[in-house]
Amino acid sequence: MLVYNTQTHKKEELVPIEPGKIRMYVCGPTVYDQIHIGNARTFLAFDVIRRYLMYKGYQVTFAQNLTDVDDKIINRANETGRTAAEVAEECSNAFIEQMHRFGVLDPDIRPRATHEIEAMQEMIVRLIDAGHAYPVPSGDVYFSVRSDTSYGILSGRDLDQMRAGERVGVNDEKRDPFDFALWKAAKPGEPSWPSPWGDGRPGWHTECCAMIHRYLGTPIDIHGGGADLVFPHHENETAQAMCAWDTALANTWMHTGMLRVDGEKMSKSLGNFYTLKEVLDKYPAGAVRLLMLQTHYRAPLDFSFERLEGVAGTLERLQTCARNLRWAAERSPQDGELNDADRALGRAIDAAREEFCGQMDDDFNTAGGLAAIFSLVTACNTYLAEAADDTSTAVCLRAADMLGELAAVMGIELSRSAGDDDLPVALVDLAREHAGYEGDSASDAADALLAARQEARAAKNWGVADAIRDGITVLGLVVEDTAAGARLHRKE
Ligand code: AMP
Ligand code: ZN
């Protein structure tokens, strides 16, 4: 399995540190607001990477932090008259809620910066003792980038060249303009914790490094985040690990491309800024996933509502195919010998899985993986149309299961039932009135209504046929005619 490593600029064979196990960490959000769809793109990419590693049989341990103390949180608290802890708590809960809606698996470990002060201070003490960090009179502690001979190893930046080209903030207390704060002295009114250097709070780059060391051990197999984190955040993380414990922080560094809206950078000032919440309020999570996964995780992703509209139909096609297969399986007579068409679909199922894995083994090529899923959809639709009512139950079920299995790696849930899972109970009353139905199951009522409608049409009893159709429409349902017969489902 090949994975692109930012540090070496090439695809490398993934060789786990411990056979069969992968330890991975993805930098989490700073919790001061709802996350936007750019953040969501990154979290989705690593969700699918994790799911695929699990699908391949690895035992994956996944950690992701919540940055719950930061200037942005403190500013938001001051603007809204709340404490920083209140803002962080509310936004952490909102983040977790939206991740659940999006179908992103919970991390195995979710450390919060404010709960890890001790681990961070221990690391800072080690760095000071080894001569890689220094406290200054104001109470800040800085990491000395010059003390780390490998500084720049991840991003490929050279401190001397950057000096010439870039303006960096001037701070008299720093020995070098690129030195960064491991610990920040408390300003009045800010959250703070006691430390050997006076009251203060940790710097952002400090937290991930200390958490990784504490919860996963260093080095880990995979460290990920958006491409905007390569420098300085991840460069600074790996520098601390090298200097504190003499190990790299991660063997493989993975970075996602940035999300753009309508070809432009997404930003509040351009008015093309969308939160994940507002997008999920309007579109199914599966459609947003499909759109994002059509682009390779390392490439920039162009988001537009136009594309999303189109993809919603693609998702429907996948779901309908799986339902049709299960429907056909329920309706088909007992299996006899498999015929040529059955065997051809059987081969298409195996080929789709092989193609899917081949694509995903190549640096998680989700676009290729999706193409493999949809080539199976096409094969299934052709089979269902041509076989009409002579389908094989076993082959239909195997095809539906394979679609479900591969879609699940993409985090897309397909229904395991032949019909709509949530037909309204009001169908029961309608069927009692028009179809002499006496039970209380919505799906049986749907079958009874469709049979009664069919009978009424055959008898040219248009009044009854129309009354049934109108009643169905009022409930927000449509009649779908499939090769294996008519059935009801919810209008999208
Ligand atoms: P932040 O809360 O800003 O630290 O961001 C959380 C994660 O989202 C980080 O991994 C960022 O790299 C990532 N991220 C931020 N903006 C974008 C974007 N426009 N596209 C993709 N990922 C992003
Ligand atoms: Zn981080």
CATH code of the domain in which 35 resides: 3.40.50.620
Average pLDDT estimate for 236-243? 97
Q: Mean pLDDT for the chain? A: 92
Tokens matching residue 356? 């899917």
7 falls within a domain:
no
As separate numbers, helices (DSSP H) first and strands (DSSP E) second, the chain gives 16, 15
Average pLDDT estimate for 410-414? 95
Measured from the Cβ of residue 169, the count of other Cβ atoms closer than 10 Å reads 7
224 falls within a domain:
no
- Report whether pLDDT(419) > 80: no
Of 409, 444, 468, the position where a domain reaches its end is 409
pLDDT at residue 170 in the model: 62
pLDDT at residue 325 in the model: 93
Q: How confident is the model at residue 416 (pLDDT cuts 50, 70, 90)?
A: confident
- CA–CA separation, 276 and 95 (whole Å): 9
- CA–CA separation, 467 and 285 (whole Å): 35
459 falls within a domain:
yes
Residue 151 identity (one-letter amino acid)? Y
370/382 same-domain check: yes
CA dihedral (173, 176, 180, 184) in degrees, to 10, reads: -10
Q: Whose CA is nearest to atom 15 of ligand 1?
A: 39
pLDDT at residue 115 in the model: 97
Of 275, 303, 331, the position where a domain reaches its end is 303
**DSSP assignment of 350-411, as one string?**
HHHHHHHHHHHHBT--HHHHHHHHHHHHHHHHHHHHHHTT---HHHHHHHHHHHHHHHHHTT
Residue 223 alpha carbon to ligand 1 centre in Å: 14
Q: Which segments of 388-486 does DSSP mark as H helices, in order?
A: 393-409, 426-435, 442-458, 462-474
362/447 same-domain check: no
353/445 same-domain check: no
Of 371, 390, 409, the position where a domain reaches its end is 409
90 falls within a domain:
yes
48/83 same-domain check: yes
- CA–CA separation, 123 and 44 (whole Å): 31
DSSP classification of residue 34: P
- CA–CA separation, 341 and 347 (whole Å): 10
- Give me the residues near ligand 2 (ion), CB cutoff below 5 Å: 27, 208
Residue 65 alpha carbon to ligand 2 centre in Å: 8
Q: What percent of the chain has pLDDT over 90?
A: 74
- At 14-72, the pLDDT tens digits run 999 999 999 999 999 999 999 999 999 999 999 999 999 999 999 999 999 999 999 99
pLDDT at residue 263 in the model: 83
Q: Whose CA is nearest to atom 11 of ligand 1?
A: 226
pLDDT at residue 388 in the model: 74
pLDDT at residue 167 in the model: 59
432/375 same-domain check: no
- Tell me which residue range forms the domain holding 462: 420-490
For residue 44, the ligand closest to its alpha carbon is: 1
Give the dihedral sign, CA 281/282/286/287: negative
Taking only Cα atoms into account, the Rg of the chain, rounded to an integer number of angstroms, comes to: 28
pLDDT at residue 28 in the model: 97
Instruction: Please answer whether residues 338 and 346 qualify as being in contact, where contact means their C-beta atoms are separated by less than 8 angstroms.
Output: yes
**The sheet that has 250-256: what strands, in order across it?**
59-63, 21-26, 220-226, 250-256
Residue 199 alpha carbon to ligand 1 centre in Å: 30
- CA–CA separation, 362 and 368 (whole Å): 9
382/467 same-domain check: no
- At 183-216, the pLDDT tens digits run 999 999 899 999 999 999 999 999 999 999 999 9
Domain count, the chain: 3
pLDDT at residue 406 in the model: 98
Residue 207 alpha carbon to ligand 2 centre in Å: 7
Average pLDDT estimate for 404-416? 94
pLDDT at residue 336 in the model: 76
For residue 238, the ligand closest to its alpha carbon is: 2
316 falls within a domain:
yes
Using the atom order of ligand 1, give the atom closest to the CA of residue 27: 10
For residue 29, the ligand closest to its alpha carbon is: 1
- At 348-384, the pLDDT tens digits run 999 999 999 999 999 999 999 999 999 999 999 999 9
143 falls within a domain:
no
271/365 same-domain check: no
pLDDT at residue 420 in the model: 65
CATH code of the domain in which 373 resides: 1.10.730.10
197 falls within a domain:
no
318/297 same-domain check: no
- pTM value is 0.89
309/366 same-domain check: yes
125 falls within a domain:
no
Pocket, ligand 1, Cβ cutoff 6 A: 27, 29-30, 38-39, 41-42, 225-226, 228-229, 256, 258-259, 266
Using the atom order of ligand 1, give the atom closest to the CA of residue 229: 12
Using the atom order of ligand 1, give the atom closest to the CA of residue 260: 19
Using the atom order of ligand 1, give the atom closest to the CA of residue 30: 2
298/323 same-domain check: no
Contacts of 376 (CB under 8 A, 6+ apart): 348, 349, 352, 399, 402, 403, 406
265/296 same-domain check: yes
